[in-house]
Amino acid sequence: MKRLSIFILACLIISFASSSMAKPVAEEFRNKEYDYSSIKTVLVMPVMYEISIPPSEPFLDDSVQQKWKEMTSQEKSGFSFLVKTPEQIIERDDFIKGTVPTEKLSRDKAAEKALTLSPEYADAIMTATVTKCAYTTVHHPQELVWDTRYENRSVYVNGKWETRSVPISYQKIKPAWDETFAIGSVRIELRNSRENTLIYGVNVNATTAEDLFTPLPTLTKHITNVVENAAKRVPKK
């Protein structure tokens, strides 16, 4: 009886975990005609968005940018090429041309300027774009399901009658219910800085719901996780 209870509990845990923590789905492309070893320096751009950040997630951008910066850092990434931020590209250009910056550029302005300078100071450009970020709800209609209860019954065991708890299968109506999921997609591209040739690309989609032990994640947490998953897929060499 104890073993059976443990088995049933394990099945329930696996069932809930499999439905709530769906494995991210990735679509990858690698240009086999491009010599990856020829890439020596890469400009890593800030994360961009094809969606509007929900007002309910005021710290989403800060969290996502920080995770992207961490995952693409020279120490964390393990890339064989040198990683350069927009600020480093601009500083290099100022040094070579002997110019002195007149004002501090915002993150977006620095990224735009570094992009125009990239053909001179980088072999490739790496971008990350959030393409999906939302909650969605799936309605599950009422249905008839099988369940199990335990009743004490007299059973004939080893030549005598004994009272034992036995499983009884029965049908019951499961009420209609709504299930909410956090959905997110992130696209990473590595392109040649001069011809804009796509060298590597990956699009990661992930859907997460709550389970027995974990609440529904915030969109900030969900997208940050998707960014981390996508960044880990970029080839090291």
Which of 152, 174, 196 is the last residue in one of the domains?
Answer: 174
Inter-residue contact 183 to 1 (CB < 8 Å)? no
Q: DSSP labels for 161-198?
A: EEEEEEEEEEEEEEPPEEEEEEEEEEEEEEEETTT--E
Domain co-membership, 183 together with 103? yes
Q: Are residues 227 and 152 in the same domain?
A: no
Q: Are residues 71 and 57 in the same domain?
A: yes
Task: Note whether 114 and 170 are same-domain residues.
Answer: no
Query: Domain count of the chain?
Result: 2
CB 180 within 8 A of CB 219: no
Q: Which domain holds residue 147?
A: 142-174
Domain closes at, from 174, 195, 224: 174
Measured between alpha carbons, how far is 107 from 110 in angstroms, rounded to an integer?
A: 5
Tell whether 37 and 107 lie within a shared domain: yes
The angle subtended at Cα 75 by Cα 116 and Cα 89, nearest 5°, is 15
Q: What is the CATH number of the domain that holds 198?
A: 3.30.160
Structure tokens at 191: 């392109």
Q: Give the span between the Cα atoms of 91 and 133, in whole angstroms.
A: 34
The whole-number pLDDT of residue 237 equals 84
Question: For each of the chain's 237 residues, which pLDDT tens digit applies?
Answer: 444 444 444 444 444 443 444 689 999 999 999 999 999 999 999 999 999 999 999 999 999 999 999 999 999 999 999 999 999 999 999 999 998 887 889 999 999 999 999 999 999 999 999 999 999 999 999 999 999 999 999 988 888 899 999 999 999 999 999 999 999 999 999 999 999 999 999 999 999 988 778 899 999 999 999 999 999 999 988
In a shared domain, residues 170 and 64: no
- Asked whether residue 170 falls in the same domain as residue 205, the answer is no
| Cβ proximity of 205 and 132 under 8 Å | yes
Task: Give, rounded to a whole angstrom, the gap between the first and last alpha carbons of the chain.
Answer: 54
Q: Quick one: 163 and 182 in the same domain?
A: no
Residue 185 sits in the same domain as residue 227: yes
The type of residue at 69 is K
Q: What angle do the packed helices 219-233 and 60-71 form, to 10 degrees?
A: 20
Query: Domain check: are 70 and 181 in the same one?
Result: yes
Residues 6 or more apart whose CB falls under 8 angstroms from that of 206 comprise 22, 24, 25, 183, 184, 185, 222, 225, 226, 229
Please check whether residues 170 and 105 belong to one and the same domain: no
Give the CA radius of gyration of the chain: 27
Question: Which residues is 190 bridged to in the sheet?
Answer: 126, 200
**Same domain for 100 and 148?**
no
Q: Give the global pTM.
A: 0.80
Strands 177-192 and 25-30, sheet pairing: unpaired
Asked which of 174, 193, 218 is the last residue of a domain, the reply is: 174
Taking Cα atoms as reference points, which of 119, 131, 101 lies closest to residue 43? 119
Beta-carbon contacts of residue 173 (< 8 Å; ≥ 6 apart): 142, 143, 144, 145
